[in-house]
Amino acid sequence: MAGRRILVRGTPYQIEEQIGYGLHSLVYGGRDLRTGQPVAIKITNFVHGSVGVKADTESRQQSFFKEIRMLLYLQRLNPYIIRVFAHDYNNGQGIIVMERGETLRDTFIEYMINGMPLPPFLVHRFWSQMVESIFYMHRIGIVHGDVKPENFIQVGSDRTTLRLIDMGISFQLPPNVTSRLKTAAGTPDYVSPEMVSSRVGSSSRSKCGYKADIWALGVILFEMAFGYRPLQGLSTNSEKLRFLGFLHQDIKIPKHPNKNLRKVLQGCLRANPRRRFTIEEVFGHPYVMEGY
């Protein structure tokens, strides 16, 4: 693919190097050949293997259309959702041309490698934007289900504007909320306790899907503010899942000079999802509203 030129709904694009990949997709850096603007081009392969299983192909096509519908809808409501410039599909693949940025995870790694927190203004700026993007999803009845730094990219001249890129496993409540969350959300560091606890029944779990997003936002804020993640001391995924499954007490928040930051973290990282903040409480919290 790299090096090829493609036409998407009449606009020519140059495909350059591969910059990422998903479960069924490859993401390339590219350029709009009319304007020279850098873009990211996500190509989703609908056909599995050399023969192709019909049901699998159909489910990939449905996911592609669902993702596109959600992106186009949400990007009109909120500035912190990735901008889609063009999209197209044929029987074999779907293409999304979007704004290109740098993944937030890489910035986190630069700080975390030395156990350094991010500067307070950046913590506040990044987190407020994440909260706002999830606020708009919850407002229209959508649980993201996989909130983590990899799913945000940095754009703009100073790279301090975020965009949520991944709607991949987002879904509308209610059907089967948590079984999907549990199987699809692969990084235990951001997974909430109720998602791994067998003591929570499926009916209460489905009401908690939104609260799983709040937990993940809390973990991200913790990570930015302290330079490490709450479960970082546990080395394997199964240790982390076991810890979460038996978590009865709230996560202890270390001392921090910003009282509002500490309070909002306490509200996001409550073990019991019913006591955990809603997105409205987070969005209206003095930490988000009043700044760092």
Ligand X SMILES: Nc1ncnc2c1ncn2[C@@H]1O[C@H](COP(=O)(O)OP(=O)(O)OP(=O)(O)O)[C@@H](O)[C@H]1O
Spatial distance between the Cα atoms of 140 and 167, rounded to a whole number of angstroms: 14
Q: Which is nearer to ligand X, 132 or 166 (CB)?
A: 166
Contact between residue 166 and residue 21 where contact means Cβ atoms under 8 Å apart: no
| Min separation Cβ 263 and ligand X, Å | 32
CB of 288 to ligand X, least distance (A): 25
- Binding footprint of ligand X on the chain (CB under 6 A): 19-25, 27, 40, 42, 44, 82, 98-101, 103, 150, 153, 165-166, 168
CB of 45: closest distance to ligand X in angstroms?
8
Q: How far is the CB of 33 from ligand X (least distance, A)?
A: 18
Instruction: For ligand X, give the closer residue by CB, 101 or 267.
Output: 101
Rounded to a whole number of angstroms, the minimum distance from the CB of residue 165 to ligand X is 4
Q: Which is nearer to ligand X, 98 or 214 (CB)?
A: 98
Is 207 labelled a binding residue? Answer: no
What letter represents residue 45's amino acid?
A: N
The nearer residue to ligand X, 21 or 246, going by C-beta atoms, is: 21
Look-up of token digits 């079984």: 179
Burial class for 94, CB neighbours closer than 10 Å (0-12, 13-18, 19+): buried
- Distance in angstroms (rounded) separating the CA atoms of residues 231 and 188: 9
* CA atoms lying within 13 Å on the CB side of residue 203: 0
Q: Whose Cβ is closer to ligand X: residue 97's or residue 177's?
A: 97
Which among 134, 274, 270 has a CA at the least distance from the CA of 213? Answer: 134
Q: Where are the alpha helices (DSSP H) in the chain?
A: 54-77, 104-112, 120-139, 177-184, 193-196, 202-207, 209-226, 237-245, 259-268, 279-283, 286-290
- Whether the CB-CB separation of 128 and 78 falls below 8 Å is answered with no
CB nearer ligand X, residue 141 or residue 186: 186
Q: How far apart are CA 83 and CA 97, in angstroms?
A: 9
What minimum distance in Å lies between the beta carbon of 210 and ligand X? Answer: 21
CA distances from 28 to 3, 13, 39, 197 (A): 10, 11, 8, 38
Handedness of CA 186, 188, 194, 199 (dihedral sign): positive
Mark the binding-site residues for ATP, compressed into ranges.
42
